[in-house]
Amino acid sequence: MKPRIYKLATIKISKHIDAFLITSSTSVKYLCGYFYNFEIGASPFQVIPAVLFVDSSEKTCLLIADNETDQLSEIDTHITICQYTSYSYNKPLNFSTDFHLKLIDLCKNLGSGKIRIGIEPNSLPQSIANSVYNHYPNVEFTDITNDLSGLRIIKDDDEIECIRASTHLCDIGQEAVFKYAKPGISELEHFTLVRGDMDLAAGKRVPMMADLVCGARTFDGGGNPSANVIKSGDLVLSDLTPCLNDYWGDTCNTMVVGKPTLQQTEHFKLVQETLQIAISAIRPGIHANTIDQLMRKNLASAGGFGHHGGHGVGIHYHEEPRIVPYNEMKLQPNMVISIEPGIYTNGYGIRLEHIVVVTQTGCEVLSKFIHRL
Site residues, a copy of itself (CB under 8 A): 25-26, 38-42, 44-45, 47-48, 87, 89-92, 96, 119, 121-130, 141, 186, 188-189, 191-193, 195-196, 199-200, 203-205, 207-209, 224-227, 243, 306-308, 316-319, 322, 324-327
Query: Considering the complex, what minimum distance in angstroms separates the CB of residue 47 from a copy of itself?
Result: 5
Contact 39, 195 (CB under 8 A): no
Of 201, 152, 206, 165, nearest to 38 (Cα)?
206
Query: Which C-beta is closer to a copy of itself: that of 327 or that of 338?
Result: 327
Query: Which C-beta is closer to a copy of itself: that of 48 or that of 256?
Result: 48
Query: Considering the complex, what minimum distance in angstroms separates the CB of residue 9 from a copy of itself?
Result: 24
Query: Considering the complex, what minimum distance in angstroms separates the CB of residue 203 from a copy of itself?
Result: 5
Query: Which C-beta is closer to a copy of itself: that of 150 or that of 196?
Result: 196
Query: Considering the complex, what minimum distance in angstroms separates the CB of residue 90 from a copy of itself?
Result: 5
Query: Which C-beta is closer to a copy of itself: that of 7 or that of 307?
Result: 307
Query: Which C-beta is closer to a copy of itself: that of 260 or that of 349?
Result: 349
Whether the CA torsion 196, 199, 205, 206 is positive or negative: it is negative
Contact 234, 214 (CB under 8 A): yes
Question: Does the bond joining 321 to the residue before it have cis omega, within 30 degrees of 0?
Answer: yes
Query: Considering the complex, what minimum distance in angstroms separates the CB of residue 52 from a copy of itself?
Result: 16
Query: Considering the complex, what minimum distance in angstroms separates the CB of residue 234 from a copy of itself?
Result: 19
What's the angle, vertex CA 212, arms to CA 207 and CA 214, rounded to 5?
170
Q: How far does the chain reach from its first CA to its final CA, in angstroms?
A: 43
Query: Considering the complex, what minimum distance in angstroms separates the CB of residue 370 from a copy of itself?
Result: 26
Of 185, 152, 47, nearest to 103 (Cα)?
47
Query: Which C-beta is closer to a copy of itself: that of 329 or that of 362?
Result: 329
Residue 19 dihedral angles phi and psi, to the nearest 5°: -150, 165
Query: Which C-beta is closer to a copy of itself: that of 96 or that of 345?
Result: 96
- Residues β-bridged to residue 339: 310, 354
Residue 33 dihedral angles phi and psi, to the nearest 5°: 100, -10
How far, in Å, CA of 310 to CA of 139, rounded?
41
How far, in Å, CA of 182 to CA of 193, rounded?
12
Contact 62, 36 (CB under 8 A): no
